[in-house]
Structure 1
């Protein structure tokens, strides 16, 4: 596996409240292993040398030594606080890719494409809107560190960002509720 330039980091957001799911969904088994491990393995297999895992203060996630754990004490306030915490922790890098731990079918190829982009690059969602995973250059870091509440990165980034179409829309699958664990593709 080719390793990325260490100036590029991946931030995996795993601090969500899982309210719609009804419990700590990221450690719930999905196809034989904890849900969060699918996105983590895609990131590890992508070639990132620097991996950041943003969690809340009380988590059951047990990450390998390859991950730098970032505790977000404000995780209950929403995803924006986790993006801000992750980007602050990865501030020494020139580019970051932000992915979600509840997207088990994200591919290493897609993460690599975001890493090789320039400026802000979002993933085109099924509704055509820009979303996660996404990549950002250093010029976007200050705006991302100011996010609060449930604000996503789209709020902080100018409208001239690029949008990357996934090779397979199945990659966009995310788990929000218990029944999502049984979705067949």
Structure 2
């Protein structure tokens, strides 16, 4: 765990990696991109910022946990036993895991593989200036993950009950700031898509929570 700057509002980051990845046909979290598994790459990216990290697992928990143990990251894992209920259940698991002194939580998915540390830091920097507001990525005319929710939204996050995640909460709130992040537009859904990217072709797909 990083030594967190106590002069700043404390932020937790939840890496959402609980999905079944049915379109991918195997644990997408463990697929390789540029010599790293997607989950390993995401962890390395997120550990580069000064926040507490949790990894929300679900459908492929055993395989992912074994892999994270092999790279000494298993202490970050939070198992979402309700993963079949969709992304909202992972959001709830992450919120319940947040420390009491946490002022906000960021949600990010494991398959947004073009995101950079600078992208993540830009969201955090804006939120630390406006820590009472939702701060989220904007790309291709949409708002979505990565997204940061202040503590005053935790009760609403815990009331989510479908697979749309927090998309509707972002849409309905007037209290939202955005950061233009074109790199957030791409996520990976299929093996063919990942193979194309590994061959230097970049497909595009919108993703919201």
TM range (shorter): 0.7 to 0.9
Give the conservation status (yes or no) of the 8 Å contact 1:38–1:105.
no
Gaps of 5+ in 1: none
Task: State the alpha-carbon separation in 1 of the partners of residues 20 and 112 from structure 2.
Answer: 15
Aligned position for 2:24: 21
In the alignment of these two chains, the number of paired residues is 180
Task: State the alpha-carbon separation in 1 of the partners of residues 73 and 28 from structure 2.
Answer: 22
Task: Quote the offset at 1:80 in angstroms.
Answer: 0.8
Is 2:115 aligned against 1:100? no
Give the conservation status (yes or no) of the 8 Å contact 1:107–1:171.
no
Aligned position for 2:44: 41
Matched ranges for 1:66-85 at <5 A: 67-85=75-93
Aligned position for 2:5: 5
Task: Quote the offset at 1:137 in angstroms.
Answer: 0.7
What per-residue deviation string (whole Å, max 9, x for no partner) do you get for residues 14-41 of structure 1? 0011011111111011121111122211
1:110 to 101, 119, 139: 119
Question: 2:90 aligns to what SS in structure 1?
Answer: helix
Task: Quote the offset at 1:123 in angstroms.
Answer: 0.7
What per-residue deviation string (whole Å, max 9, x for no partner) do you get for residues 108-137 of structure 1? 1222222231311111122x1111011111
Aligned position for 1:52: 54
Give the conservation status (yes or no) of the 8 Å contact 2:20–2:60.
no
Give the conservation status (yes or no) of the 8 Å contact 1:57–1:71.
no
Give the conservation status (yes or no) of the 8 Å contact 2:17–2:29.
yes
Task: Quote the offset at 1:143 in angstroms.
Answer: 0.9
Gaps of 5+ in 2: 203-209
Which range moves more in the overlay, 33-42 or 149-158? Answer: 149-158
What per-residue deviation string (whole Å, max 9, x for no partner) do you get for residues 49-78 of structure 1? x11110016422233348521111111111
